[in-house]
Structure 1
């Protein structure tokens, strides 16, 4: 569930390679990180000063600026403390790799291609996560190792939320840290509902599979077969359920001006639909791949039409309750009795601000529901026991359809690992929201990280993922 940013098309023809000495690479890397961490007003000038005309022409300034802004948001808490890199010389041409180990233990690889001698400029770049470096420990030591890591991250202000690791019914580690409400001092617990972000897409995929198993729909059905009055004719007549489940429909997002204007009144799938249904498709259905939040909303409407039940009620009755997820729901943001954790994001002044202004009144079929760490543990046990779908039906959801870097994507589920040690799951992220769920169906293992602050779950999950695999799998080999 890592991410990569790249602008790596062919370099300018006729360009003079720069020296690939460590000094040149480190200097250009410093310019790159300056552009990432700069404010939006300064970033355009830095793009013109330190990035080659060829790179800008190939990728477009708008896309490059968006990529840099996304990196700035994802790494905001760590950009101010970047350590000196380990520089790995490129063997061909003006290319080199710089590896960074961040204060959290996260590791990054930045590959740069530099052109020009008098005024070197970045002509290509690629940024990707590297596996954390961990030492395997015995299973009996693993809980203490995880506890120490969670404590360090919490005390450094980099993590607030809950962590749970279990194998089968045996919980290896489970604890919550930080505050669910910083104003009142209410603490996070393992039963505190925390916003899942896009992890809810998994539940939407399972609901569609349940209806397919009941013979009420099929994967290749068009939207119009179940929503004959759907207001966008192209989507109605040409987009299939399969395409909506795999992000290949061309349907975009609802994060737009219409959503922002109505954010605090959005309470149904139909209301979410109205914010984006008139937008043109990003590409011809089935001819591209782009992560979509609009697609699951349409699936939510199909669930309502086919089941005769409100989407939220269907998920509650057919997933949460059968799985024993007692604290899970799509709570409204004004439900003060729900006891959910408030999400927090850091302001430009370094203070923490809750994310209530950023939230819709209620989440959608694409994300924004809540569950506790114990709820997601119960969900993993329900998957293992076949209480929601049979294993054969789940394997349909977990069949790779699209490859996105080191991971594949099935039916609203991410798929990673190796054929011998596969994991499935999803992550979630938005202002003040950060969540990770990994389920190993063949090893009966689950890793759950829920955070109620910006970008706090991914680094913890990356480290846990490496530490747990090294300790449980490598040490158990004959």
Structure 2
């Protein structure tokens, strides 16, 4: 069975457990609010109007979902995806539950998708997310159901991952915990195919953008200590920053929230730079820092790896130490994360998973991704960790030992690049934590995590 691909038209980094069975007494007055939201979404999507979609997001989405992924970021995704899909038509409602709906839909280009919409359990039952999963056979759709208990959950997850690994569609480690007690922890596939080294429970995987969570935690720690302010401009810390408009107008808050207008460091300059020469935060800055802003700071929202590089440079300036040392001593060590760091790629670090990518060719041969990787990761991503260390990180967040805002309901973080796919989903209310780390292309981790989340017992 091919690994399902979660198509992120509209996603929110939170546990998507709303589409699970619920007792009649807990059901909302309107039996299936997710169906109503989904129908409204289809109408807005097919309008082709960014303004109509913008109003849909404002009217139908939960506040927590919009904090996690702001409206303008959703509009940017919509514009791209509308140009690809052309239109959406629901073919049939596959399943309806009090807090979630599954529907089979066909796009204007003829593709079939399973749509899943989930809503809050509290009135007025606004949307948490809608996500799409490609369907190979519309006549044979499997609707995930929550399992009866943790034992049944572990059995289902084990069978699913065994099948995926045998089909060469999953390689990595999965950890499931409840209230930080491990319920399931298994490794699959190979850390290094050339050397036939298997993945293990303690294998270190490239996290991709999950590193941004550590950078956010570091910035919030420095703000609480009074060493920087969220409204401080870049120039306060980096007076020689090449783009003067950015230096004067972009604040720490803009950088954190990706509303700065600073773009990405991936591009022609990155491609032209010998990757082994990129080993420090300052090595990343010439790849983007002098480029024009993509929009006026605070007036838009766009994913920004470059912005998180600037945050790393600010951390270095404020603390007088390099970024890697600061997060190691102030984030990782307090959590007991002894197997987490931004390792230099050619230093012979033991127990490291090598990334294997199909280079964008579905079904193609998997090859090592080392030619795409910098010599060392950064404050924007590319560090390594283990499933056990990430459990320790989330536990530290839960107790307040490490601070992040907006985690009252939980945490959802992910990362991805060629040969790198990672996902962490934590629901504070239920206590469930799902960690998936892989050395395959996206959406290997995200797809597995979503499937597991849909099976979590109530």
Q: Does the TM-score normalized on the shorter chain lie above 0.5?
A: yes
Q: Compared with structure 1, are the counterparts of its residues 308 and 437 closer, same or farther at alpha carbon in structure 2 (3 Å cutoff)?
A: same
Q: String of CA shifts for 1:266-312, please: whole Å, max 9, x gaps.
A: 11111101100111111000000101100000000010011111001
Give the distance between the partners of 2:187 and 2:328, measured in 1 at CA. 25
Partner of 2:150, secondary structure, is: coil
1:97 is paired with a residue of what secondary structure?
strand
Q: Which moved more, 1:241-250 or 1:166-175?
A: 166-175
| Residue correspondence of structure 1 range 106-121 to structure 2 within 5 A | 110=105, 112=107
Offset at 1:205? Answer: 0.2
Aligned counterparts, 1:7-406, within 5 A: 8=45, 10=47, 68=84, 96-98=89-91, 110=105, 112=107, 129-130=131-132, 133-262=144-273, 263-346=275-358, 348=361, 350-389=364-403, 394=404, 397-398=405-406
Q: Which runs of 5+ in 2 are unaligned?
A: 1-5, 11-41, 50-74, 95-101, 116-129, 134-142
> SS state of the match for residue 4, structure 1?
strand
**CA deviation after TM superposition for structure 1 residue 218, in Å:** 1.2
Matched, 1:432 2:419: yes
Task: Give a deviation string over 1:238-273, Cα, whole Å, max 9, x none.
Answer: 001111111111110011111111233111111101
Kept after mapping to 1: 8 A contact 2:88/2:105: no
User: What SS does the aligned partner of 1:172 have?
Assistant: strand
SS at 1:140 equivalent: helix
Q: Distance in 2 between matches of 1:369 and 1:66?
A: 34
1:410 equivalent in structure 2:
none
Report SS of the residue matched to 2:187: strand
TM-score under structure 2 normalisation? Answer: 0.71
Whether the aligned pair in 2 keeps the contact of 1:8 and 1:126 (CA below 8 Å) is no
Post-superposition shift, 1:323? 0.8
Are residues 459 and 192 of structure 1, via their aligned partners in 2, closer, same or farther at CA, if it must alter by over 3 Å?
Answer: same
Equivalent residues of 1:109, 1:129 under 8 A apart: no
| 1:136 shift after superposition | 2.4
- Selected match of 2:447 from 459, 462, 468: 459
In the TM superposition, residue 444 of structure 1 has moved relative to its aligned partner by: 3.4
| Bigger Cα Rg | 1
In structure 2, the residue matched to 1:30 is none
Structure 1 stretch 215-224 or stretch 285-294: which is displaced more?
A: 215-224
Q: How far apart are 1:440 and its partner, in Å?
A: 2.4
Residue 387 of structure 1 deviates from its aligned partner by: 2.0
| 1:3 maps to 2:8 | yes
Q: Which residue does the alignment assign to 2:25?
A: none
Q: Helix, strand or coil for the counterpart of 1:3?
A: strand
Deviation at 1:97, TM superposition (A): 2.3
Q: Normalising to structure 1: TM-score of the pair?
A: 0.69
Q: Which residue of 2 aligns with 1:33?
A: none
CA distance in 2, matches of 1:265, 1:100: 53
Q: 1:371 to 1:299 in 2, by over 3 A?
A: same
Cα distance in 2 between the residues matched to 1:294 and 1:193 = 25
1:410-432 CA-to-partner distances (Å, cap 9, x unmatched) read xxxxxxxxx8xx33121101000
| Change over 3 Å in CA distance of 1:95–1:317 after alignment to 2 | closer
CA shift in 2, pair 1:249/1:166, >3 Å: same
Q: Does 1:449 align with 2:451?
A: no
Question: Does the Cα contact within 8 Å between 1:193 and 1:370 map onto a contact in 2?
Answer: yes
Q: Offset of 1:333 from its aligned partner?
A: 1.6
Distance 1:358 1:100 in 2: 42
Aligned length: 357
Task: Name the CA distance, whole Å, in 1 between partners of 2:247 and 2:223.
Answer: 19
Q: What's the counterpart of residue 50 of structure 1?
A: none
Specify whether residues 246 and 452 from structure 1 end up closer, same or farther in structure 2 by C-alpha distance, changes over 3 A only.
Answer: same
What is residue 75 of structure 1 aligned with on the other side? none
CA drift of 1:138 comes to 1.5
Could you tell me which runs of 5 or more consecutive residues in structure 1 were left unpaired when the two chains were aligned.
13-58, 72-93, 102-106, 114-120, 400-418, 474-478
Displacement of 1:108 in angstroms is 8.2
Q: Offset of 1:443 from its aligned partner?
A: 3.8
